[in-house]
Amino acid sequence: MAAAVHAGLLIRPRTGVYVLPDTSAVTLEALSHCGAIACLTAARDYGLWTLDDGEQEKPHTWVDPAHHPVRFSVDPETMTASCCVFHRDDAVDPPALHRVGIVHCLVQILGCRGQEAFFAALESALRKRLLRKADRVRLRASVPERDRWLVDFARPDADSGLESLLRLRLHRHGILLAAQVAIPGVGTVDFVIGDCLILEADGATHDGDSRHTDRVRDAVAMSLGFSTLRFDSAMILHEWELVEAAILAALGRDLHRSRAGLTW
């Protein structure tokens, strides 16, 4: 093993632990503290949708409260360490060597980044089928009572965190959305409000050739009596007040109600 480390075939982040050279820098950092990647860092490792890309963020590292990090003493209350954002909470589900369990990861996101980041990551985990029924029950029991409705409200059919944020934010206005609605001649749209108001949340995959396809879909939808409001990720994430105003204005003009008097 020592020869493999010397030859560059393995890396030893701490005594007794060996990893392959392609192991990520954030994982090496966490392991060097006798810890594991946690919170948003673990969420990205699981492939979950997160509210930020993590490029400028220090890695989130969990160290078991019963253990001591090997590199320096960590104050459980501080968030100012130069190398990591440390978490010293009790494990909710068994961790792997390099990262916390999926339920623990979601609980940490709620405490660290709040309801919206938690909800988007939760729906992403459900979409990827990373949570079993028992995991969801454990998650609900592990979060504060005031936040448990989010676990109940979450669905497994959100294509992205943008859709999760849109549904959550409009729910707070008492606006009900029909999700992933198949419209003959148009295809499956993200949301429909009422009879005929389509909401689309466009991520990076809607650039290039997809942009033309989206415009064709909108035109077909209009010919069938639907109105479409289409918002990109920058608007949903950074200009929510404008998005909110547009949707409320459309509802105020009854653009969600067809003249045929149909209802969902």
Share of the chain above pLDDT 90, in %: 67
Question: pLDDT of 142-168, one tens digit each?
Answer: 999 999 999 999 999 998 999 999 999
Choose the weakest-confidence range: 22-26, 86-90, 204-208. 204-208
Architecture of domain 161-252: 3-Layer(aba) Sandwich (3.40)
Share of the chain above pLDDT 70, in %: 88
Under the banding of pLDDT at 50, 70 and 90, the label for residue 75 is: very low
pLDDT of residue 81: 55
Q: Check whether 51 has a pLDDT greater than 50.
A: yes
Q: How many residues does the chain have?
A: 264
Q: Check whether 242 has a pLDDT greater than 90.
A: yes
CB neighbours of residue 174 within 10 Å: 6
Domain limits of the chain? 2-153, 161-252
Structure tokens, 262: 């149909």
Q: Give the 3-state secondary structure of 159-176.
A: CCHHHHHHHHHHHCCCCC
Give the SS3 label for residue 92.
coil
DSSP state of 52: S
Enumerate the β-bridge partners of residue 62. Answer: 36, 87
Residue type, 70: V
Q: Check whether 73 has a pLDDT greater than 50.
A: no
